[in-house]
Amino acid sequence: ARATCERAALRSKSSDGQRGGAAARKEREVLASAAVGCLHTLWAPAADAVDAALANGRIETAGVELLAASVKRCMVNPPESAEAVAAAAGTVGDALWALYSVGGVRVQPCLALGRMLNALAALACRNVAVESPEVYERTWQAWCDLAALLGATPALVASCGGAAGKATLLYVLQGMRYAERKLSVGSVSRSCAFWGNLDTLFYEAEATALSPSRRRVKLFPTYALESAVADSNTGGAGEGRRGGGGGVGVPAALGSQLPKSTPRNVKAGVERGEGHGPRKEFFVLAGADMAKAQPAGCGRRGSGGPCLPALFEHVRSAGYHWPNRSIEQQQRTKELREAYIAAGWLLGQALHNRAQVSLRLPGALCAQLLPGCKQHSTYEPTLKDLEEFDPAAARSIRAAAALPPKEWRAMLELEELPRKLTHEQYVARSVRSVLVRSVAWQVEALRAGFAAAVDAQAMIDMRFSGEELAEALCGASAADVEALDLRKAFRLVVDTQLQGGGASEALGDALWSTVGSWSAPMKRKFLVFVTGSDRLPAPGAELLKVEMPFVALGAADLREQMGMLPQAHTCENILELPDYYAGVCKLEGLSGASA
């Protein structure tokens, strides 16, 4: 580890101010990868100890102090091992920081460190209600104790902590600095989650910009039944009752019309129940809403004046969302700017609420939201940034820069560019035109809202890159979901009867065999059903509970249970199963091998 890092640091220092060509960059990337591999080897036993301490449902009762305690126990033999690990990690960390901050290398996350940070997230974020700063202080202290044992300095975590790990630490750090408050978003229409609550979102963005102490918010949405929304929008019977912040009206009389069979969480035209599932669903719905034009009759401008255009467009060639470039000059109204500010504020609140939006934002856009990028002149995108966002545009610019001298001069004259413009200057100018100037006014408004929601110093402390911020806000891709075993995405707490040796082990095997065989779209539907969101958490950062709470007192109860579908409580990621296996065995008289 030490030898690798000495080479890495030497290469970084020699390139200070001039990062060299592709070959030098490739060498730095190889050295960084080797250094991260060293860290993983050093910390893998500690990550294993943490996972073992939280296994078999113990995570439900464990405290954050367990992290450092379990790591300390695994480092007692030989006695000097803890000091050796911390010292070696410190050596690696110094070199990685040099590569990251000076050498310009995108360091890959350390898997072992990520596992421990995700364990911290699972422990710290179990309570979905509003917490006090003292709770977050205890969590931060538990992390500091663990980091000291590992030798994980702030610079090292900034280098290879990964997007999910940094987002967890940002969540805890801001919880220490700002008192959380509850924001109820009432009667949300699933078809108009962002536009229908634009008043509330912009008001909060404006208020937190004026009073930063209010920026830490946990959202608690309640959802209107779509039948109630349709009734209220067409002037149905009963006087409309409006949800907080411009939510869609719900007829007060609807509550008395609900049938007796209405589920317990559906009363008076809204779905009841608070928790992380409804919160995550709101951010997913709002993100999708931002990529659609404001529907007629939805939100504050629905009753008069033109509806606002979509805030983001989907760039098919890149697979990303980008601020809408088709907005005409006459459409750039005060109301549209306020909508972009509200969208930026909601993106910042996604970090506070441990939620993700259903947009695919590129790093080139998120880099312009980061603190320190207050003026467009401070962000200098590269051709590589453009390649990741829009490969076709990057190829066109590269082809133009490679023109022979005669054609080059003709192109400069045609585009009315200075004749002395160099090829490098042309590339920089063209890239900047696509990624910065074409969306300057939208990004300025997004940044204003984002800055109102997120503590700039905390973001600076975590050293987020644009790519890391995009991953924290948007989550995994569809390909990641299809390839991933969902049992590894969550920390499972499974009913003992479904585990190995349990009375209904066969039912547990059937469940995971079925879910594992599904395509990515089906897995996303399962995620929505159980968690309220189709976005995957970082592996091991959330719990998923599988329970069998139903008890059959006789043959009639048993037959009724056999006709029940699985149920879910998205508030706490709980999947409830009737014991189909025991039911079939009893009703069919099966046992042993035949069962």
Could you write out the DSSP letters of every residue in 425-450? HHHHHHHHHHHTGGGHHHHHHHHHHH
Quote the pTM value: 0.84
Q: Which residues are catalytic?
A: 571
In terms of C-beta density within 10 A (0-12 exposed, 13-18 middle, 19 or more buried), how is residue 250 classed?
buried
Cis peptide before 78 (omega within 30 of 0): yes
Q: Which two tokens stand for residue 495?
A: 């009913």
CA distance 470 to 94: 26
CA distance 497 to 505: 6
Amino acid (one-letter) located at 220: F
Q: Which two tokens stand for residue 284?
A: 């997913």
- pLDDT tens per residue across span 455-476: 998 888 888 989 999 999 998 7
pLDDT at 265: 52
CA distance 100 to 97: 5
Strand arrangement, sheet containing 270-271: 181-188, 217-224, 270-271, 266-267
All residues at 6 or more sequence positions from 218 whose CB lies less than 8 Å from its CB, including other chains: 128, 129, 130, 180, 181, 182, 183, 279, 352, 353
Cα dist from 7 to 10, 28, 42, whole Å: 5, 9, 19
pLDDT at 327: 87
CB of 104 closer than 8 Å to CB of 252: no
One digit per residue, the tens of pLDDT, for the chain of length 595 reads 566 666 655 555 554 444 456 677 788 888 888 889 889 988 999 999 999 999 888 888 888 999 999 988 887 666 567 788 888 888 888 778 877 776 677 888 999 999 999 999 999 888 888 999 999 999 999 999 999 999 999 989 998 999 999 999 999 999 999 999 999 998 888 889 999 999 999 999 999 999 999 999 999 999 987 654 444 443 333 333 333 333 333 333 333 344 444 444 545 567 766 788 899 999 999 999 999 998 877 766 544 567 899 999 998 877 899 999 888 877 788 999 999 999 999 999 999 999 999 999 999 999 999 986 543 346 788 888 888 788 888 899 989 888 898 888 889 888 888 888 888 999 999 999 888 888 999 999 999 999 999 999 888 888 898 999 999 999 876 556 666 778 888 999 999 999 888 888 999 999 999 998 988 888 889 999 999 888 888 899 999 999 999 887 777 888 888 889 999 998 889 999 998 888 888 888 887 777 7
pLDDT at 451: 94
- pLDDT tens per residue across span 128-187: 889 999 999 999 999 999 999 999 999 899 989 999 999 999 999 999 999 999 999 988
Q: What is the largest CA-CA distance in the chain?
A: 91
**H/E element, 336:** helix 334-352
pLDDT at 79: 59
CB of 519 closer than 8 Å to CB of 549: no
Q: Where in the chain is the domain with CATH 3.30.2410.10?
A: 478-594
Give residue 532's region: left, alpha or beta (phi > 0; psi -120 to 50). left
CB of 270 closer than 8 Å to CB of 257: no
Of 103, 299, 104, 85, nearest to 187 by C-alpha is: 299
Of 383, 364, 466, nearest to 428 by C-alpha is: 383
CB of 107 closer than 8 Å to CB of 36: yes
Residue 181, number of CB atoms within 10 A of its CB: 12
All residues at 6 or more sequence positions from 547 whose CB lies less than 8 Å from its CB, including other chains: 495, 574, 575, 576, 577
> Looking at the DSSP assignment, which residues form a beta bridge with residue 323?
312
pLDDT at 276: 86
CA distance 401 to 388: 19
Q: What superfamily in CATH does domain 478-594 come from?
A: Hect, E3 ligase catalytic domain (3.30.2410.10)
Of 528, 535, 565, nearest to 550 by C-alpha is: 565
CA distance 492 to 517: 19
